[in-house]
Amino acid sequence: MKLLVVGSVAFDAIETPFGKTDKILGGAATYITLASSVLGVESGIVSVVGGDFPQADLDMLSNRKINIEGIEIVKEGKTFFWSGKYHNDLNSRDTLVTEVNVLEHFDPKIPDSMQDAEVLLLGNLHPGVQLSVLEKMKNKPKLVILDTMNFWMDSAWGILMEMIAKTDVISINDEEARQLSGEYSLVKAAQKIHTLGPKYVIIKKGEHGALLFHEGKIFSIPALPLEVVFDPTGAGDTFAGGFGAHLAKTGDFSFENMKAAIIVGSAMASFTVEKFGTERLETVTNEDLKNRINDFKNLTSFEVAL
């Protein structure tokens, strides 16, 4: 087991200017592990679903060599459900429904088969749940990657600080970085967040790309300019999945390789937004990924002769 992923496996119902879906497969852990399976990385999920969760979706994950032993099925419960509607610019959305359901009392259990994971990727969940997973691991993972959001800064600050203190790489968006640090400048925000624990700080800027900070060094990558963003749902989770999977696959946690991991994550995320939900991500091949990474190279490379 290279990569252990803790996060939601869920249902989403999505409306964008281009159409709407019924309840479809969603959840952070779903996007993360689908991205990692494109890289051929052995991964496993720790999560919980209800009795209403389709066996076909579990089989789909299994067939992609994703270890689903850690997905607890609460027969009498219902799966987490989120429904949202994106505005015309696709940069903002309204949440229509959030049914926490079985996630409310989620007590993660880590199967023995996952105890040796080298990289632990904690998808966005209550920081108390994230922390309990880390504490339940018999072998400390070599790298802990944390995704979180402003909701937990508002509602669970103390335990979030405990969790962040034990994190190697934190991945948040620009507004969250400002909230977490109290600094407007993202350079200063990253400096403050370093002092909370994480040696690596990733700040996601959506259509403007992402920044990576480490020991005074900065890497900045634009997003791939797309003619149409069809559905942004899961883009951040897919990014985290591509990022974590590249690190788990290579076992190289240097700044240079983190940069490469950010490119892999960005390339993966650029596929997810092309169709609804996981539809596009499920069909991405390794060849597609290589071509997309090449697109990033073409997008950003330059030579200046003064």
Tell me how far apart the alpha carbons of residues 100 and 279 are, in angstroms, rounded to a whole number.
24
Q: Figure out which of the listed residues 155, 165, 184, 291 binds a second copy, where binding follows CB under 8 A.
A: 184
From the CB of 205, what's the least distance to a second copy, in Å?
7
Nearest Cα to Cα of residue 282 among 234, 248, 221: 234
Nearest CB to a second copy, comparing residues 17 and 128: 17
Tell me how far apart the alpha carbons of residues 41 and 5 are, in angstroms, rounded to a whole number.
12
Q: Figure out which of the listed residues 222, 275, 282, 288 binds a second copy, where binding follows CB under 8 A.
A: 222
Q: Figure out which of the listed residues 154, 217, 251, 291 binds a second copy, where binding follows CB under 8 A.
A: 217
In the shown chain, the binding pattern of residues 67 to 106 toward a second copy, with x for contact by CB under 8 A and - for none, equals ---------------------xx-----------------
In the shown chain, the binding pattern of residues 132 to 171 toward a second copy, with x for contact by CB under 8 A and - for none, equals ----------------------------------------
Site residues for a second copy, 37-66, by CB under 8 A, read: 39
Nearest CB to a second copy, comparing residues 195 and 298: 298
Phi and psi based region of residue 19 (left: phi greater than 0; alpha: psi -120 to 50; beta: remaining)? left
From the CB of 38, what's the least distance to a second copy, in Å?
10
What six digits make up the tokens of 58?
Answer: 């579990």
The reply to whether 208 sits near a second copy by the rule CB under 8 A is yes
CB atoms within 10 A of CB 136: 13
Q: Which stretch binds a second copy (CB under 8 A): 29-37, 153-161, 273-281, 290-298?
A: 290-298
In the shown chain, the binding pattern of residues 242 to 281 toward a second copy, with x for contact by CB under 8 A and - for none, equals --------x-----x--xx-xxx-----------------
Identify the bridge partners of residue 271 per DSSP, sorted by sequence position: none
The reply to whether 192 sits near a second copy by the rule CB under 8 A is no
Nearest Cα to Cα of residue 26 among 239, 278, 242, 229: 278
Q: Which stretch binds a second copy (CB under 8 A): 58-66, 129-137, 138-146, 217-225?
A: 217-225
Q: Figure out which of the listed residues 226, 251, 254, 291 binds a second copy, where binding follows CB under 8 A.
A: 226
What six digits make up the tokens of 273?
Answer: 């937004």
Q: Which stretch binds a second copy (CB under 8 A): 133-141, 149-157, 222-230, 271-279?
A: 222-230
CB-count burial class (<10 Å; 0-12, 13-18, 19+) for 156? middle
Nearest CB to a second copy, comparing residues 122 and 211: 211
Q: Which stretch binds a second copy (CB under 8 A): 47-55, 97-105, 146-154, 289-297?
A: 289-297
From the CB of 263, what's the least distance to a second copy, in Å?
5
Name the packing angle between helices 255-272 and 286-300 (round to 10°): 110
Q: Which residues bind a second copy (CB under 8 A)?
A: 39, 88-89, 184-188, 205, 208-209, 211, 217-222, 225-229, 250, 256, 259-260, 262-264, 286, 289-290, 293, 298-306
